[in-house]
Amino acid sequence: MKTALLFGSTGLVGGHVLNQLIQNNNYSKIKIFVRSSTEINASKIEVIKIDFNNLDKHAEDIKGHECFFCIGTTKKNSPNKSEYQKIELDIPKKIAQIAKSNLVKSFFFVSSGYANPKSAGDYLKFKGLVEEEIKNLNFDKIGIMRPSFLLGKRKEERVGEKFGIIIFKLITPILIGPFRKMRPIGSEKVAKAMIKLANGNFNQNVFESNEIEDLVG
């Protein structure tokens, strides 16, 4: 039986990861790391209130078999550039480093399609830099998810993203071949793929949207 570490349990993908971990008999404990109190409750769950400004203080808590990182933000929610960088780059890198030092075997990360450490845009650049760090840490198993537009019920509306999803849904039938990775994908499928990777043997560690879709069917 395994212990899972989950960051972002109330998010679009993380919420589905949590539900699937609860239902999966391979896990006896799920540590969820939250900034404030939560009403989430299940016998498997251990809620850990964490100070993301002082992650070293929580190093002893970041111990288990597998780490699922599903935290993300937007420029709208984090307009301060340094705050945005902290959430999208500094925090995931630090958590991955602590997890590795604590001998966590596997790390699963929700990145983005077209993530690239050399990108001119901060979002794709930061995602790419986190991917590089995770790979360099050489976990026994890595699962980097690169979804295109994520489908699912959000707590907040993102007008630009909502418009983009409508457009991509309309053009999905012509997104074939190398363009399949641009197709929108359900957040629940991304979560399902992460759990499947955690409990199977795969040679691949980076999955584009279409590959996530193929993985879970």
- Spacing of C-alpha 189 from chain mean position: 12
User: What's the confidence (pLDDT) of residue 94?
Assistant: 98
pLDDT mean over 80-103:
96
Instruction: Give the C-alpha distances (Å, rounded to integers) separating 13 from 1, 8, 17, 125.
Output: 23, 8, 6, 21
Which of the two residues, 157 and 203, has the higher pLDDT score? 203
User: What's the confidence (pLDDT) of residue 135?
Assistant: 97
User: What's the confidence (pLDDT) of residue 174?
Assistant: 64
User: What's the confidence (pLDDT) of residue 151?
Assistant: 84
Residue 55: pLDDT over 80: yes
User: What's the confidence (pLDDT) of residue 40?
Assistant: 78
Instruction: Tell me the average pLDDT of the chain.
Output: 89
Q: Where are the domains of the chain?
A: 2-216
pLDDT mean over 165-176:
65
Residues above pLDDT 70, as percent of the chain: 87
User: Could you tell me the pTM of the whole model?
Assistant: 0.90
User: What's the confidence (pLDDT) of residue 153?
Assistant: 75
Helix (H) or strand (E) run with residue 81 in it:
helix 81-85
Tell me: the pLDDT tens digits for 57-68?
Answer: 999 999 999 999
User: What's the confidence (pLDDT) of residue 48?
Assistant: 94
**Taking the domain 2-216, which CATH number applies?**
3.40.50.720
**Sheet order of strands, 141-146 included:** 45-49, 27-34, 2-7, 66-69, 106-110, 141-146, 206-208
Radius of gyration of the chain (CA): 17
147/134 Cα distance (integer angstroms): 17
